[in-house]
Amino acid sequence: MKKKLIKYPIILIFLIIFVVFYKSLKDTNIYTPETKINYDIPIFSADLLLLNENLTSTEIFELDKFYLLNIWASWCVPCRDEHSILMTLSKNNKLNIIGMNYKDNKKNAKSFLDELGNPYQKIIVDKNGTNSIEWGAYGVPETFIIYNNKILKKYIGPLNQELFAEIQKIIK
Domain ranges of the chain: 45-171
Is-contact 40 109, C-beta < 8 A? Answer: no
Class of domain 45-171: alpha beta
- Please state, in angstroms and rounded to a whole number, the distance separating the CA atoms of residues 137 and 154: 9
Rounded to a whole number of angstroms, the distance between the first and last alpha carbons of the chain is 83
Say what the pLDDT of residue 16 is: 87
Residue 32's contacts (CB-CB under 8 Å, 6 or more residues apart) are 138
- Please state, in angstroms and rounded to a whole number, the distance separating the CA atoms of residues 84 and 3: 70
- Please state, in angstroms and rounded to a whole number, the distance separating the CA atoms of residues 147 and 22: 47
Per-residue pLDDT tens digits of the chain, which is 172 residues long: 566 667 777 888 888 888 888 877 776 665 555 556 678 899 999 999 988 899 999 999 999 999 999 999 999 999 999 999 999 999 999 999 999 999 999 999 999 999 999 999 999 999 999 999 999 888 899 999 999 999 999 999 999 999 999 999 999 8
Helix (H) or strand (E) holding 78: helix 77-89
